[in-house]
Amino acid sequence: MEYVHYSVMPNEVLASLIPPQEGAATMVDCTCGEGGHTHRFLAAYPNLRVIALDRDPGILEKAKVRMEEYASRFTPLNIAFDEFFKTAEEEQYDLILFDLGISSYHYEESGRGFSFRKGETLDMRLDPTDPISAMDVVNGYPEERLADVIYRYGEERYSRRIARAIVTERRLSKINDTERLAQIIYKAVPPAYRYGYLHPATRTFQAIRIEVNGELDRIEVALAGAVRSLKKGGRIAVISFHSLEDRIVKWFFKDLEGDQVNILTKKPLVPSEEERNENPPSRSAKLRVIEKL
């Protein structure tokens, strides 16, 4: 089976999350994806069991195949991480990993419209059973609410112009596919903005995806549950990929510092130059690690 996702900062994550040497240990990989990080941990630590979470049943099937040789120590669960920690017992886990990025699988293989570079149906749901899709957001949100989503989650300075253009176009016919949405955005922004470092649709697509999946709303809830369910001396590592995620993680940890946790990364770890060259999507990643007191 082919795997299209490169796990970000694998060496740094392994060095940050080390299970106890004596007895069995349990780690929760909150965003398993294709299983890149989990596979490395299971290979490195024979005493480690990994509970692997993911909202997408399709990508979890790929992880199951990858982990066949470690099946007795691998427990996959099709569940969102915030939902998982709502029922987790206190002081139960030794290690917890959050990789908040979207897997390359979703852009390359899912067919759900995560990429504006492919002509796919507008969906963007990580969990295909969720009730709201990108098509619902694009075609159903009032103009003001749509502009607010694009500005808040995409940090897009032309959010009002883009929302106005989308509403104008959807009056003509429903916007069903990524190619048409990308073209609407491209035409809505000033000519000089069309040829910048980022494609003009990048931020809007990010914003719609975050809105569809409630990504930012889940982080603090999940972190609170993770800290509660972590054993004393246990560690949590979080990889974020944009400022909106990282800000939530940073201030959540700071609020607990000295009382419940020790922050082990006073400044977040970032990928090496070699990794950034080999895997360009990693360039914005930041790794923060805490230890429970």
What is the per-residue pLDDT across 107-138, written as a single tens digit (0 to 9) for each? 888 889 999 888 899 999 999 999 999 999 99
* 72 and 101 within one domain: yes
Specify the CATH number for the domain of residue 151. 1.10.150.170
* 183 and 42 within one domain: no
* 96 and 128 within one domain: no
Model pLDDT, residue 3: 52
> What does the pLDDT look like over 28-65, one tens digit per residue?
999 999 999 999 999 999 999 999 999 999 999 999 99
1 falls within a domain: no
4 falls within a domain: no
110 falls within a domain: no
* 86 and 222 within one domain: yes
139 falls within a domain: yes
| CA distances from residue 90 to 17, 86, 87, 94 in whole angstroms, order as listed | 19, 11, 9, 11
CB atoms within 10 A of CB 55: 21
Model pLDDT, residue 279: 85
Specify the CATH number for the domain of residue 27. 3.40.50.150
User: Averaged over 230-251, what is the pLDDT?
Assistant: 96
User: Averaged over 280-286, what is the pLDDT?
Assistant: 88
Higher-pLDDT residue of 103 and 261 is 261
3 falls within a domain: no
Please determine, for residue 70, whether its predicted confidence score (pLDDT) is greater than 90.
yes
Rounded CA separation 144/121 (Å): 24
Rounded CA separation 196/282 (Å): 20
Model pLDDT, residue 54: 96
Which residue among 162, 187, 213 closes a domain?
213
Q: pTM here?
A: 0.93
Please determine, for residue 25, whether its predicted confidence score (pLDDT) is greater than 80.
yes
Lowest mean pLDDT among 2-11, 47-56, 85-94, 282-291: 2-11
> What does the pLDDT look like over 134-178, one tens digit per residue?
999 999 999 999 999 999 999 999 999 999 999 999 999 999 999
Lowest mean pLDDT among 4-18, 41-55, 264-278: 4-18
Strand partners, 53: 77
Strand partners, 58: none
What is the domain range of residue 196?
Answer: 115-213
* 144 and 197 within one domain: yes
* 202 and 138 within one domain: yes
Please determine, for residue 5, whether its predicted confidence score (pLDDT) is greater than 90.
no
Query: Considering its fold, how many domains does the chain have in total?
Result: 2
Model pLDDT, residue 146: 98
Model pLDDT, residue 282: 84
* 119 and 98 within one domain: no
5 falls within a domain: no
2 falls within a domain: no
Which DSSP string do the residues of the chain spell out, in sequence order? ----PPPSSHHHHHHH----SSS-EEEEETT-TTSHHHHHHHHH-TTEEEEEEES-HHHHHHHHHHTGGGGGGEEEEES-HHHHHHSPPTT-EEEEEEE-SPPHHHHHTS-SS--TTS--BS---SSTT-S--HHHHHHHS-HHHHHHHHHHHH--TTHHHHHHHHHHHHHHS---BHHHHHHHHHHHS-GGGGGSSS-TTHHHHHHHHHHHHTHHHHHHHHHHHHHHHEEEEEEEEEEE-SHHHHHHHHHHHHHHBTTTEEES-SS-B---HHHHHH-GGGGG-EEEEEEE-
93 falls within a domain: yes
| Amino acid symbol at 86 | K
Rounded CA separation 62/34 (Å): 6
* 235 and 97 within one domain: yes
Please determine, for residue 283, whether its predicted confidence score (pLDDT) is greater than 90.
no
* 223 and 207 within one domain: no
* 66 and 147 within one domain: no
